[in-house]
Chains A and B, each alone.
Chain A
Amino acid sequence: MIQHALDGLKVVDLTHYVAGPYCTKLLADYGADVIKVERPGIGDGARRLGPFPGDKPDPEKSGIFLHLNTSKRGIAVDFKRPEGIELLKRMIKEADLLVENFSPRVMPSLGLSYDDVRAFNPEVVMVSISDFGQTGPYRDYRGSEMVDYALGGAMYSAGLPDRQPLKLGGVVVSYLAGANAAAAAAVAVVGTAMRGEGDHVDISIMETQAGSPDRRVNMLVGYQYTGQVNHRGMLAPPPVRPCKDGYLNSQFGLVWMDRISEMLGMPEIKDDPRFVDPIEAAKPENAALFEEIYLGWLGDRTMREAWDAAQAAHVLSGPIYSFADVMADRNFQERGYWEDIEHPAAGRWRYPGLPFSTFGEPSKPRRPAPRLGEHTGEVLQQLGYSDAEVAALRGQEVIA
């Protein structure tokens, strides 16, 4: 029998939207038994975000929900009611991990603070993901994808000097917080095996940005060393340039000039002081001359030709792909990256594959995202509820 990396790890998942569900998706896709808890009739808000096939909203067909909840089982419990809380406690009692991304006052108000939980399951690792963390003056502030990035990340320095600063693409800040939370959860689980008791992991999305290798930490250390604040356009011009049918991003810089001269088929320029002497190369007229040479070379080539030529010369580079280009690319296809998953309500779609491979990676295809309450009966039965108890809870609309 194949052993998956997280075989035997039981996770109670109270998360919604993006950061929390990406964390538990990473756990579930590598073999953890993740039970996603949603409220009856309401469900995870990501069920309403879309995209939807034909732009027709349907809580069972939201693209972002389908993507973020693969490999999980789902139950519907009204945990605003005492019977629902009792059910949750029975689940948590047997769990290794409890993951939630409510605002920080919610779990204590449900009687599920870390101290509450620890009292009946000392080994559990509780992971709390929030905009600003469980402590500190912003704890009760309202955040968002962009607000968390503005406060924590390098948004101030992003964009053109005469325009407003720019966010990153989509909701990547939330995804990154989820990946950090999964890593922290796994580290804490390793710690629990050694230390005998669990811990409470506190992930602040703002801090995952303030400590991010995405420019922020480099700029923060640079500021300490020089006192210089980074304004937009300080590293201008951006390195992306047009070719015949698209754009290529290449790494410039004098240390790479031997490779760049090879790419351009102009070996003579690697010894030309106008391009390789740090003072000469910085002069506007020489920079303009290089730009002219490079643009001319790119203009004769398609994105594919230019990228292949750059790589043949070992120039660090990449094309600007649209999402159509990403899906059409031969490399990901040949590696078997994509995964077609059939969902009973939403149909068959092609999903991004696993971010890394381990020797015991789960067999494909992965389980599709759960329909709301799809596994309620099955999970309650495993917890030891009798048929009569299940029927009673359904009758009282505690579960669905």
Chain B
Amino acid sequence: MTSPRHKKLPLEGVRVTDFSVVLAGPWVATLLADWGAEVIRVEPLQVFQPSTRGRSPRPPQAQIDTNHNWVFAYPNWKAGPRPWNQWPFFQAHARNKLSMTLDIRRPEGMEVLKRLASVSDIVIENNVPETIEKLGIDYPQLRQIKPDIIMLRMPAYGLTGPYKNFRSFGPHLEGTAGHTSIRGYSDTDPSMTEDVFFGDACAAATGAYATAIALRQLRRTGKGQLIELSQTESLIPFFGEFLLDYQMNGRVPGPQGNDLYEMAPHNAYPCRGDDTWVAIAVADDRAWQGLVRAIGNPPWTSEKRFSTQASRYEQRQDLDALVAGWTSQHDNRWVMEVLQNEGVPAGVLNNEEDAYNDPHLNARGFFPELTHPDCGTHRYPGIVWKMARTPNDIRTPPVTLGEHNDYVYKELLKVTEEEYANLEQAGHIGTEFPESMAGNA
């Protein structure tokens, strides 16, 4: 790029107070932090919100040993003395953030919060609405402290309506938005369909968008605002075509497998080796001709039943078996390259190891190496958007609990040494959850 580079990140000078938990809210904060906002996580030592810094504060080693899956993937399958600084779900989003500990349920904690809010531009939370209202930190109250504050509230269903206080993680509201009904194999029922966290990903990107446009408005008009984001209502638009089809034609689809727009071949195909796959998407005759050339024009490709896109779709099961017969003789990366050279959309199914070795992600610098005090040195998934004039790397590794208490209390909020000592004594300030907080996951 020949354009001169910017010296500042676009959100430099923006301060975010972040009460969010689990996935969707924290990921809004990540997207803002990546582009320069100062995000301060406010984390109470007295409450452990499951699935935020772990399923539980101190999972027994025996539980990790019997659950060698990604939910318990602590470094080397061992929880150290501070497992809350090591949980992969948290570590994945906690870059570029600050952490302070504070219990706002007590009056002196609320006083600290007010001081923090008075120097913040944005407050983010994604709790059950009644929790925030009971704590006394909803928009009218924050506005009294900071008249031009922007507050993003993103509960599962919104701040009004019969489901206002319904409890939900992303996978549950994906059910209510209709997504789960169309995922899965066309011959299985929903009890065979596993959870995905797509709803969290949707709410995160949409929430970051909402916050950024409110920030533009603040800068132009001097006015802050409350943004109400119902996570379910932010996801329903992703199925607009299905909702219109239902109205236009009465269609109510079930699980779609890998079918899409009557493309064929359109599936994941097995390749040489153990559990290796390539995805191939043939949308038109041009791509079909490319596939035929790549396979080497075997006789079956000229059968009449495969001569049009419509007939190929009709015969897709037979076609899938024939294509799989070819792909299974070759390495998946070879199949991808051969097909791409013929102009056919194709890509290997990258597992985690493959992703870290992927030449394209590496060429684009997607996996920066970070060193973390409780986890050591690893490569992490990086910043999702690129801006040509604003080269951007992760500035700080995943934040540890209470890592920035000194900065936030003393430098930012000008708390005196005496006050600090009192707050520490009262259990607001610290870096560890109390020993009494054991718990299972």
- Residue-by-residue, is A178-199 near B (CB-CB < 8 Å gives 1, otherwise 0)? 0110111011111111110111
Contact of B277 among A6, A156, A226, A327 (CB under 8 A): A156
User: For A221, what are the chain B residues with a Cβ–Cβ distance below 8 Å?
Assistant: 73, 88-89, 91-92, 378, 380-381
CA distance A337 to B161 in the complex (A): 11
* Given A202-B388, A222-B70; A172-B233 close (CB under 8 Å): no
CA distance A140 to B169 in the complex (A): 38
Q: Which 9 A-B residue pairs are closest in the complex by CB-CB distance?
A: A191-B10, A222-B73, A318-B172, A63-B244, A67-B240, A186-B212, A223-B352, A355-B234, A150-B279
- Residue-by-residue, is A1-30 near B (CB-CB < 8 Å gives 1, otherwise 0)? 001011011000000000000100010001
- Residue-by-residue, is A302-344 near B (CB-CB < 8 Å gives 1, otherwise 0)? 0000000001001111111111111101111011010000000
User: For A324, what are the chain B residues with a Cβ–Cβ distance below 8 Å?
Assistant: 246, 252
B48 CB, min distance to chain A CBs, angstroms: 9
Contact B175 A184 (CB under 8 A): no
Contact A282 B67 (CB under 8 A): yes
Max count, chain B CB within 10 A of own CB: residue among A114, A235, A357: A357
Known contacts A143-B345, A197-B6, A235-B71, then 16 further A-B pairs from the complex at CB < 8 Å, ordered by chain A residue: A136-B364, A146-B279, A151-B279, A151-B347, A165-B277, A175-B237, A176-B198, A182-B205, A194-B10, A198-B389, A221-B89, A224-B356, A311-B166, A317-B172, A321-B178, A356-B229
Q: Which residue of A lies closest to B215 (CB)?
A: A190
A-B contact pairs, 12 of them (CB 8 A): A49-B241, A141-B347, A148-B347, A150-B349, A156-B354, A158-B196, A187-B208, A189-B212, A249-B171, A316-B167, A337-B236, A355-B237
Contact of B190 among A226, A247, A256 (CB under 8 A): A247
CA distance A170 to B169 in the complex (A): 21
Is A242 an interface position by the 8 A CB rule?
Answer: yes
CA distance A346 to B77 in the complex (A): 57
User: For B191, what are the chain A residues with a Cβ–Cβ distance below 8 Å?
Assistant: 237-238, 240-242, 247
Is B9 an interface position by the 8 A CB rule?
Answer: yes
Is B180 an interface position by the 8 A CB rule?
Answer: yes
Is B239 an interface position by the 8 A CB rule?
Answer: yes
A14 CB, min distance to chain B CBs, angstroms: 18
- Within A133-161, which residues are at the interface with B (CB < 8 Å)? 133-138, 141-152, 154-160
What number of A residues sit within 8 Å (CB to CB) of B?
164
A108 CB, min distance to chain B CBs, angstroms: 12
Contact B194 A179 (CB under 8 A): no
- Within A267-290, which residues are at the interface with B (CB < 8 Å)? 276-279, 282
* Given A148-B347, A224-B380, A349-B244; A358-B275 close (CB under 8 Å): no
Contact A51 B249 (CB under 8 A): yes
Contact A193 B219 (CB under 8 A): yes
Q: Which residue of B lies closest to A25 (CB)?
A: B237
CA distance A213 to B279 in the complex (A): 22
B7 CB, min distance to chain A CBs, angstroms: 8
Is A42 an interface position by the 8 A CB rule?
Answer: no
Is A215 an interface position by the 8 A CB rule?
Answer: yes
CA distance A50 to B354 in the complex (A): 36
User: For B111, what are the chain A residues with a Cβ–Cβ distance below 8 Å?
Assistant: none
Segment touching B, from A72-80, A203-211, A392-400 = A203-211
Contact A179 B202 (CB under 8 A): yes
Is A68 an interface position by the 8 A CB rule?
Answer: yes
- Residue-by-residue, is B257-291 near A (CB-CB < 8 Å gives 1, otherwise 0)? 11011000011111000010111110100010000
Contact A145 B281 (CB under 8 A): yes
B355 CB, min distance to chain A CBs, angstroms: 6
Contact B353 A229 (CB under 8 A): yes
CA distance A168 to B250 in the complex (A): 23
Contact of B387 among A68, A199, A212, A251 (CB under 8 A): A199
Contact B349 A165 (CB under 8 A): yes
Contact B217 A360 (CB under 8 A): yes
* Given A146-B266, A165-B268; A213-B351 close (CB under 8 Å): no
What number of B residues sit within 8 Å (CB to CB) of A?
181
- Residue-by-residue, is A53-71 near B (CB-CB < 8 Å gives 1, otherwise 0)? 1110000000110111000
CA distance A360 to B388 in the complex (A): 32
Contact of A230 among B69, B363, B390 (CB under 8 A): B69
Is A350 an interface position by the 8 A CB rule?
Answer: yes
Is B162 an interface position by the 8 A CB rule?
Answer: yes
- Within A350-384, which residues are at the interface with B (CB < 8 Å)? 350-360
User: For A152, what are the chain B residues with a Cβ–Cβ distance below 8 Å?
Assistant: 350, 355
- Within B400-441, which residues are at the interface with A (CB < 8 Å)? 439-441
Is A41 an interface position by the 8 A CB rule?
Answer: no
Is A253 an interface position by the 8 A CB rule?
Answer: yes
Is A164 an interface position by the 8 A CB rule?
Answer: yes
Contact B50 A253 (CB under 8 A): yes
User: For A171, what are the chain B residues with a Cβ–Cβ distance below 8 Å?
Assistant: 241, 260
User: For A22, what are the chain B residues with a Cβ–Cβ distance below 8 Å?
Assistant: 237
* Given A158-B196, A316-B168; A6-B381 close (CB under 8 Å): no
- Residue-by-residue, is B357-388 near A (CB-CB < 8 Å gives 1, otherwise 0)? 01111011010000000010011111111111
Contact A114 B345 (CB under 8 A): no
Is A115 an interface position by the 8 A CB rule?
Answer: yes
Contact B50 A256 (CB under 8 A): yes
User: For B173, what are the chain A residues with a Cβ–Cβ distance below 8 Å?
Assistant: 318
Contact B387 A202 (CB under 8 A): yes
User: For B268, what are the chain A residues with a Cβ–Cβ distance below 8 Å?
Assistant: 146, 150, 155, 164-167
Segment touching A, from B39-47, B56-64, B299-307 = B56-64
Segment touching A, from B112-120, B220-228, B309-317 = B220-228
Q: Which residue of B lies closest to A61 (CB)?
A: B248
Contact B210 A279 (CB under 8 A): no
B417 CB, min distance to chain A CBs, angstroms: 36
Contact A5 B75 (CB under 8 A): no
Max count, chain A CB within 10 A of own CB: residue among B4, B188, B351: B351
- Residue-by-residue, is A239-253 near B (CB-CB < 8 Å gives 1, otherwise 0)? 111100001011101
Contact of B244 among A54, A64, A179 (CB under 8 A): A64
Max count, chain B CB within 10 A of own CB: residue among A3, A160, A186, A202: A186
Contact B441 A191 (CB under 8 A): no
CA distance A361 to B3 in the complex (A): 36
Contact A156 B350 (CB under 8 A): yes
Contact of A156 among B11, B23, B204, B349 (CB under 8 A): B349
B319 CB, min distance to chain A CBs, angstroms: 14
User: For B73, what are the chain A residues with a Cβ–Cβ distance below 8 Å?
Assistant: 221-223, 225-226, 228
Max count, chain A CB within 10 A of own CB: residue among B86, B89, B247: B247
Contact A278 B384 (CB under 8 A): no
Contact of B6 among A115, A199, A213, A254 (CB under 8 A): A199
Contact B180 A186 (CB under 8 A): no
Is A236 an interface position by the 8 A CB rule?
Answer: yes
Q: Which residue of A lies closest to B208 (CB)?
A: A183
